[in-house]
Every structure is written in structure tokens, then in C-alpha cells.
Structure 1
Amino acid sequence: MRIQSAAAVGVGALAFAAAAPAGALAKPTITMSGSTSVAPLAAKLARAYLRECRGCVRFKLLQGGSDVGISDVARGRVTIGNSSRDPKPGDPGGLVFNKIARDAICIITNPANRLPNLSQAQVQAIFSGSVRDWRQVPGSTISGPIDLFVRTPASGTQDAFDKIFMKPQKVSTVASQKASNGLIQQAVQRDRNGIGYVSLDFTRGVHTVRYKGVACTLRNAVSGQYEGVRNFYMVTRGKPTGAAARFIRWVQRSTTARRVIATDWVPLR
């Protein structure tokens, strides 16, 4: 099964449910796979939902990247595919992208290189590989070769980075590709010459670079000052029904869910 293969590529599975009394009827299970950016938010929302509905469902959360989640839900392998990218013309038919929040993508460097700011032209020059040494980057506090860390093609973060920061340029083919936000975060933490990009929730332990003079913070993402913001979706095969419909409706409309989202992400207006 694809669910097993998703867990095997280094992105773990979380399963959680409220305790049920002996002899209780089996509860419906909502399975999710996909975006490593959406996963931390999905886990927090699921736990909050379980507390409010008193354990009305069970959740199983896998990761693997947005394209994996979209493929899994299209094939009926999971109930919800978590995606951090917008729909594409080539996506399977019949899918519904249920928007749940927005998220900031931050450019990060190692703490040894406290780069103050990057323009879009500088971002494109660095990540396309046309600028290859930190001595060529104004404000860099180190010198030496630039080590690029990017996401794999299946990543919604990669898709959003291409559209928001890079278009019409392309990311260099020599960049080191990582399968999750956490792996990018760890790679940049360990490499003083490293630079990458991650969801705002993955910026601990690294230096976050201003983009076009604006800091990548939740406040600036909410206000619209920070431009590097993309959508989060819970994707279903057709209009959601049953337990999934109740959960997604709660995510989109409840005050509790809005408070959870507002901790590190941008709630829907």
C-alpha cells in the first residue's frame, strides 16, 4: 500500500485518538498524507478537534509531499491529501481543494551568516546558481561557496517557491534536494555556507533573511506586508462527506481552529 511507502521514505506517521470505553462502537478514521508544511498544523488541528468532539474520530497522519497527498487521495488511499500548493491543470479530476489557512515561506541561512536582506533579483541569482560565492552577496558575513538546499519536485513548498520567488528563473540543478522542511532546516543548521527555504514553523535554530526589506514573521504575513505567502489545502476526492466533512468544516469555521492556526499560520479571513 502507498501509505506504507510514504512512511518508509523518512516521513513518519502519527496516529492519535481519544481513549474509548470497552465495547464502544468503532469510530471512523480520517487518514491524511502529503505536505510536510501542512503536517504540523494538521496534527495540532486534529488534537484540538478530538478534545472538542470528545474522541469522535481517529486520525492517522502521514507525510511525503503535496504531490504524494494529492495522488493518494485521488486513488482513494487516504481520506484527505494535505497540500501546500495550488491546484495544477495536470491534477487528477474530481478533486476539491478545501483551503484551510495560509503560510509564509522563509529564506534561511546558517546563524554564522546573518544576511540582512535579499531582493528578488538576488534570490534568483543565488538559487539559479549564477552567483556561487558568498563574497558576491552584499551583507553576507561569510565567504566561500554557496551551498543550496531545496525541496524535491513533489513538494508544494518547491512549487510555491518557484512561483513566488523564482519565476521565470529555475532553481539550479546542482542544489541538494531534501524531502521535507525539517531536513532543509537541519541541513542549513549544520552548514555555515548553506541557504534554503522553509515554512515559517521551521525557522528555529536558523537565521531568517528579510525579503524585499520585510521580515518573514507571522505578523507581516497576516498584514500582507510579506510577499512570500502561499495557501494550505485539505484535498478531498469530490466534496467532503461524513467525518471528513465535519472535520474540514470545523477547521474552516470554528473559533478554536482559528486560534490553533493563528499560532504560526495565517487564518482565513
Structure 2
Amino acid sequence: MKLFKKISLVAVTSVMLVSSALAGAASAAPSQLSGKITVNGSTALLPLTLQAAKEFQKLNPKVKVAASGKGSVTGPQAVKKGIADIGACDWDASMDVPGFKAFSGQVANKVAVIPFATVVNNNVQVTDLSTEQLKGIYSGKITNWKEVGGDSADIVVITRAFGSGTRVNYQSKALNGGDITKKEKNYKEVGSSGDMKTAVATTPNSIGYIDLVYVTSDLKAVKFNGVAASTDNVINGSYKIWAYGYYMTKGQPTGATKAFIEYVQSSKFQQSSLKKLKFIPISAMK
């Protein structure tokens, strides 16, 4: 009887080991998903998209993801024209927002929380700016750094071109809906987040705005109403300049496009690569 029990136990254990091995082999098998996914739009979301594409293609070698960024509005426009499967956008383009009508028939797939920061050239001594001070600077009423506690020097205003999601959100949340007034001098418009970073980093006495992933030691993020631009401060509710990032699709996504969006939304990506890039997981916001 004891011998029978031992034989039975060995048999069950063997079955379990074989089943486990087969399951492991199945999970290690390469994905059969195939196709090409084209992503256009937001340059704020571009670092996230490129990283996700790299990871997704490794898991799905028969899928190619091509991503580019020219500003948020170009994302849903490209989807509407049929030249992109995903339109990366810093606002929900299925709804009206100031300056832009809704793109009918498109679905907004929420993929990230994007913190934005006011940035200045490293030679600027100011470390904190209020809503009213920023409104004054971008409307052209405040033109010298000494008016906001800095050295006497003309402020060089750098802004994103119309159609930028970063601009839409910064104007709404940092400027409280205030104007960005074009000036004849000490004023420049740039077309992407990368261009903004370069312009502020290389232009003395300049000010601009960008999402946190682009903030490095060659420029300086200033506080907003006394609160530092950080992921923790967005999560705890004390820092207000942030927005959700979306992948817009024509109707509900399907196939490889659906799988890619679901990967970006997955806990695996949200809690690792997304956080390392200074974005915030969707689940962190209550």
C-alpha cells in the first residue's frame, strides 16, 4: 500500500512537471500577431510611444510600429485621413476643446498622465512663478526678469506653435486660459517638444514649457505657485499642470493596434518603463 502511494505521488508529480514545462514552452513561443502600426501626433507622448514600440516589437516580432511626432492635432488628423492607425494626442480629441472641434467617429484610448513644467534657461535666477506672473509674461505685459524677482534682462518667450497639445494644456492650466501674445521681438514659436528643449537650453533669458521627460540638467524647471513640477506632486494634487495623454483611433481599435494599446495600458508597462520616463500611470490618479 505504501509502495502504491509512492508510485502514485511520483506519477502525479511527473504529470505536474510535464504540464508546467509545456505551459512554459507555450508562453515562451513567439507571438503570431502580425501587421504594421503607424502612430502620428504628440511629441510629448513620443518618448513613451517609442519605448513601448521597442518592447512590443520584441514580444511580437511580426509587428512593426512606426512612430513620429509633429504636434497633437496632427494625430487625429492623420487618423481621419487614414494615414495613421493611432493619433497620439494630449487631449481627448473626440470632444471639443478650446480652439479645436471634436474629431467625430474617433475613440480616445487613455494611455498616460503627462506632467508639464515651466522651464527657463540656466542663466535665469528665478525659481518660482505664479499664475499671474506667467499670464503677464505670455501676454507681453511683463517683459523683464526683474519684474518677477530676477536680474534685469529682457525675457525671451518661447512657445509651441498652434496645434500643440502641450500648448493647449499649458495655456489652460498654467495661464488659466490666458492669452499667448505674439511679439515682434524676444518671441519664438517651435514645432515640437525637442525643439522647445533645444531653444530654451541654448537661448539666454528664455522661458518655455515642456513635459517632464524632456527636462534635463541643460535647462531648469521652475516651481508653479510654490510647488515643484514632479510626478509625486501631480499625484498628491498639489501640482496642477498636467493632462491625460490619449491614443486616438478610428472606432474601437482591433488587431495589432488593439494589442499595442493594451500593452501600453498594461500594468507591466505602466509601472515600469512609463514611470521611468517621468510619465504617471493612469491608475495613480483618483
Structure 2 regions of 5+ residues with no counterpart? 1-31
Query: Deviation digits for residues 69-118 of structure 1, max 9, x if unmatched?
Result: 11001111111000112334212210011000111110011111131211
Is 2:122 the partner of 1:111?
yes
In the other structure, the counterpart of 1:15 is none
In the other structure, the counterpart of 2:61 is 55
Equivalent pair of 1:48/1:257 in contact (CA under 8 Å): no
In the other structure, the counterpart of 1:167 is 176
Equivalent pair of 1:103/1:221 in contact (CA under 8 Å): no
In the other structure, the counterpart of 1:267 is 281
Equivalent pair of 2:131/2:176 in contact (CA under 8 Å): no
Query: Deviation digits for residues 53-84 of structure 1, max 9, x if unmatched?
Result: 24141011111111111100111111100011
Post-superposition offset of 1:154: 1.2
**Shift in CA distance, 260/164, structure 1 to aligned 2, threshold 3 Å:** same
Number of aligned residues: 243
Structure 2 letter corresponding to 1:101? A
What TM-score do you get using the length of structure 1 for normalisation?
0.86
Partner SS, residue 43 of structure 1: helix
In the other structure, the counterpart of 2:209 is 197
Post-superposition offset of 1:168: 3.4
Structure 1 letter corresponding to 2:208? G
Q: Which one of the candidate residues 238, 243, 249 is aligned to 1:225?
A: 238
Post-superposition offset of 1:26: 9.8
Query: Deviation digits for residues 179-204 of structure 1, max 9, x if unmatched?
Result: 01111111111112100000111111
Q: Which one of the candidate residues 64, 75, 91 is aligned to 2:70?
A: 64
Q: Which deviates further from its counterpart, 149-158 or 171-180?
A: 171-180
Highest Rg: 1 or 2? 2
What TM-score do you get using the length of structure 2 for normalisation?
0.81
Equivalent pair of 1:85/1:157 in contact (CA under 8 Å): no
**Shift in CA distance, 256/56, structure 1 to aligned 2, threshold 3 Å:** farther
2: CA distance, partners of 1:226 / 1:46:
30
2: CA distance, partners of 1:61 / 1:74:
17
Post-superposition offset of 1:165: 1.4
Structure 2 letter corresponding to 1:148? V
In the other structure, the counterpart of 1:126 is 137
Q: Which deviates further from its counterpart, 167-176 or 129-138?
A: 167-176
Matches within 5 A, 1:36-115: 36-51=43-58, 53-87=59-93, 88-89=95-96, 90-115=101-126
Query: Deviation digits for residues 139-193 of structure 1, max 9, x if unmatched?
Result: x2x3221110000111000111111112332011123110011111111111121
Equivalent pair of 1:45/1:257 in contact (CA under 8 Å): no
Partner SS, residue 73 of structure 2: helix
Is 2:165 the partner of 1:156?
yes
**Shift in CA distance, 220/167, structure 1 to aligned 2, threshold 3 Å:** closer
**Shift in CA distance, 28/194, structure 1 to aligned 2, threshold 3 Å:** same
In the other structure, the counterpart of 1:180 is 192
- Tell me which stretches of 4 or more aligned residues in structure 1 moved more than 6 Å: none
Identity %: 27
**Shift in CA distance, 86/193, structure 1 to aligned 2, threshold 3 Å:** same
Equivalent pair of 1:108/1:206 in contact (CA under 8 Å): yes
Equivalent pair of 2:33/2:60 in contact (CA under 8 Å): no
C-alpha RMSD of matched pairs (Å): 1.7
Structure 1 regions of 5+ residues with no counterpart? 1-24
2: CA distance, partners of 1:84 / 1:147:
25
Equivalent pair of 1:101/1:267 in contact (CA under 8 Å): yes
2: CA distance, partners of 1:37 / 1:168:
20
